[in-house]
Amino acid sequence: MRVTIHQPDFLPWLGFFDRWKNSDLYIILDDVQFLRRGWHHRDKIKTKDGARWLTVPVTKKGRYEQLIRDVEIDNSTDWRTKHIKTIEVNYKKAPNFNGCFGKIEAIYGKNHSLLIDLNMDLLRFIAEELKITTPVKFSSDCGIETASTQKLIDLVRAEGAAEYLTGIGSGDYLDESLFEKAGISVVWQEFSHPVYKQLHGEFLPMLSSLDYLMMRDRDAQGGTE
């Protein structure tokens, strides 16, 4: 059994979904600290002026150590309309605009209070579009109270899995030797970013997966290849 573990980010890039697809279980890491300048509440789309951030405003004052599952969306501004208009203006000529836009708009229309609820609805939507059926589980439901690499090991071990699939981004902090001592094999993701036709000039990699979905042929089959 192979497990991948990752935070529930906002509209993440294709490499994330590749890991999800190539695992037997995706554990949603929701009981770790929210990163203020990370990917939990923002990602990039492509516009006529290049890559542009879509950022969900969240309540941060006095909550420096809040967990991802507890982060509240700051609804004091009409950020949803701004997001929707930005997506519409920059992707209205995309091949799959009609297949995606209405679904994205409906998710935004739920007016979520918690960031994780918005992110999970978006993640499920994209997974369905990419035909990813790997089940998910929240780390907060597992009762694991350790931290860092040990937390990952304990989560994998609790599922009786033999392999942990991780991305190259974890190379700076993952202690692979601890996995070896626990009898768990670390599998490093090998992901080749697809080059596909985009709007607005030359190809830009590493964007939100929303860009890929918008640019797919409506008759294309699922997957991130």
Domain residue spans in the chain?
Answer: 2-215
Look up tokens 């997001």; give the residue: 83
User: What does the pLDDT read at residue 85?
Assistant: 98
User: What does the pLDDT read at residue 188?
Assistant: 96
User: What does the pLDDT read at residue 169?
Assistant: 82
Which of left, alpha, beta for 54 (phi over 0: left; psi -120 to 50: alpha)?
A: beta
Low-confidence residues in the chain, pLDDT < 50: 220-225
Q: Which phi and psi angles does 178 have, rounded to 5°? A: -70, -35
Crossing angle of helices 115-129 and 97-108, rounded to 10°: 160
Q: What digits encode the pLDDT tens for the residues 115-140?
A: 999 999 999 999 999 999 999 999 99
Tokens at residue 4, please? 């991948």
Nearest to 183 by CA among 200, 216, 160: 160
Strand partners, 50: 47
User: What is the Cα–Cα distance from 171 to 153, expressed in whole angstroms?
Assistant: 15
